[in-house]
Structure 1
Amino acid sequence: MRPGVGLLVSTLVLAGAVAVTGSVLALRLFYVWILVLAAGWLWVRLSIRGLSLESGAIPERACAGSSIQQEVSLNSASRLPRFGLTLQAETDLPGADSAPVHEIVSGRGASLQTNYLLVKRGRFHLGRFRLTATDPFGLFHSRTSLGEARQITVHPQAVPLPPFSLLGLAGSGLSRRLPEALSASASSIREYTTGDSLRHVHWTSTAHTGQYMVKVFDADRSRHRAKNYWVILDMAAPAHSGEGSQSTAEYAVTLAAALARKYIAGGFQFGLIASQHEPVVMPAAASQKHLTDILDVLAVIEPRGAMPVAELIARHQGLFGSDSTVVTISPSNSSALTEAYHQLTSRGGAAAFFLIDGADFGGPSPAAAGRSLIQLGAPVYLLRKADSCAQSLEQAAGAPGWVRDWSRS
């Protein structure tokens, strides 16, 4: 029963008792009840009058997995204390509905701090609050909204990207042809990663640092050195499975963001192509603003595309040249990925694949596609369901796709 209906029924019952019994006691109880109702109603109406709210600034952008704080001041036009006030954030931010409700005793005003845990990427609104006044008897409640909602874009979670041997910053990603074109002298050294030849270990630096260090060679033909990196992000709805943070789509987006952060930070040109209702194409660039723009797109992208990833690659292959390394992220089990690999490498560039094992998320397995790509010599990494996407990346870096017994899938 709604509170208002309950109060009305109680009033009618008391009035009926007075009319039927004619009791003086019943009449007095009726009068007291009316006074209580009037006092409660007046209390809640006066409690929220003359109140204003000022909220501190929030960042325009943040990263999932982090938290932000907001200072809030509730100001009163009256110096009289007010009791029975509570303040709670009105926001579409996931998880904020479980935030604590602040009890307010307002004289001249009150200041408090609201903490928000950003559990999901997306675009949300913060800064508006719901003020609730309750009378001492708990009979009446009055609510009003205060403050101005501000938009915040939550970027995909920042996860450390393990050293994938064919995609490291020091290498060009040209795994099959680069050894033919190495010059005799090394230009620099870097940490050893899985797949490096032990012939290239720089023993002096290894002894000095306590970690294996390898020589980095200049390519004699500069056209074979990767100057730009592209990510093909498969967001076609039929290919994805799972929900929330444990979904193939979330793993794909988190990996795309990690690659963008790492390669742009390394000074490389980076571009993104993703399938949506209309393909999203962000030409390769290397500025911090470009990274922000990419992360803004990845913050809100969802698996709503209809174009298969192989068709997406075929439509945009003209963007890739001999100095390009193209990374495809997909849970697709389509055999057309083999043709996509031929298209990507036909111009002299390099291609690698991160396949997400949809079988772990209740969807199809990419085993057939992975087996075909491996037979062509394509670098393939398999991301499997783990406690977190970061853990899945660690496992993929330590165990490339060809280590898995695909024949049993």
Structure 2
Amino acid sequence: MLFGLEGAELGILMLVAFIFCIMLGFPIAFTLMALGVGAGYLAMGDHILPLAVQRTYSVMTNDVLLSVPLFTFMGYVIDRANILDRMFKALQLAVGGVPASLAVVSMLVCCLWGIASGIVGAVVTLMGLLALPAMLRAKYDVKLATGTICAGGTLGILIPPSVMLILYAATAGVSPVKLYAAAFIPGFGLTAAYIVYIVAVGIIWPEKAPRLPKEERDVPMSTIAWELLVSFLPLTVLTVLVLWVIFAGVATATESAAIGAVGALVLALMYRALTFEKLKEAVYLTARTTAMVCWLFVGSAIFSAVFAYLGGQAYVEQFVVGLDLPPWGFLIMAQVIIFLLGWPLEWTEIIIIFLPIFLPLLDHFGIDPLFFGVLVALNLQTSFLSPPVAMAPFYLKGVAPPEVNINDIFKGVYPFIAIVIMFMVALYIWPEMALWLPKYWYG
């Protein structure tokens, strides 16, 4: 054994070595595979090779993961077809009389775009180019404008059909359809809470969100109706259709993803925006994202198998059980760890690599994995927003005008972080916010 270590000690060394390597910038998926195969060879010799093949094959045959490339392709096609530009302008006309209307529109578009894409970086970057200049020209408070975009950009993690929820379902072995149902009320409820806060700011401090000039709001209803019909309605119908076929049991999550991908192509054709170059780019980006996710799954499967063989998982379980925590204490501890991991790591690494350490403990504490998954999705929103390593503000800073500094963006996200935390507390107190809908629809 390495340095006289064996069993659980070698397993814990694997975990420490992994964290050290990713802090140095090594590729995460291949670091997992290298450590898994290396430690496995020390522990079980040549038997590690058939184990690695078997774990890789189990990832390849996981039907749930088929949804990932399809939903990702749907998002990239809609992005490349520039559908959101027209939607933003149509909604701006429709809600022009509402206080803080531009911020409200930005949040609504983020919500719809998050449903279609689920890729935080893409949503924040695109809305930073599309909505932030419009709000700054309208003399909006920089903190309100940037906080709205950053918070709205993370909604795709939580709102179905979230790719993150698909990966959690595959990792935890739960039904993605039931998980979508569990996330439905918290996801759209959080969006509504964001909008209520934005409107309240517009009413209480109108100087932070000035109303649009009368000439921009004085548009004939026929014009507004036409713009909504040709730009807002098609994408809304597609997203509702994708969700309805899942919740109604008409199609599986994978089949629903296929409907969404085909629907995105149809929309792009309708808008005459589907060129060969854009289609090729969407396919390339989808393949790259899917390859990253699948390699992470393969690396994590090998690493976790060796980690469990060495007794590392059992050691962690014994340690946590030995703390004699109540269920709420375990939940808080797990959420704090996930929150801290969200600073240096993407949500894919957290879901695929670190959550399997907590999942076996859920039975011991009597915690529903659907409830835990929704809590994790809410938690990751705060990780993306919280300084010092807040990914969403840094994504936005990369496309924002030079006069928008990172400290203003950080100050802008604080109220939205507070809203997420309040939602998490509410979910702790009333778990039925997440569990009622799956029970009602699926028993």
Q: Same fold (TM over 0.5)?
A: no
Structure number having the greater helix percentage: 2
TM-score category of the 2 structures, normalised to the smaller one: under 0.3
Structure of higher RCO (CA pairs closer than 8 Å, 6+ residues apart): 2
TM-score, structure 1 as length reference? 0.23
TM-score, structure 2 as length reference? 0.22
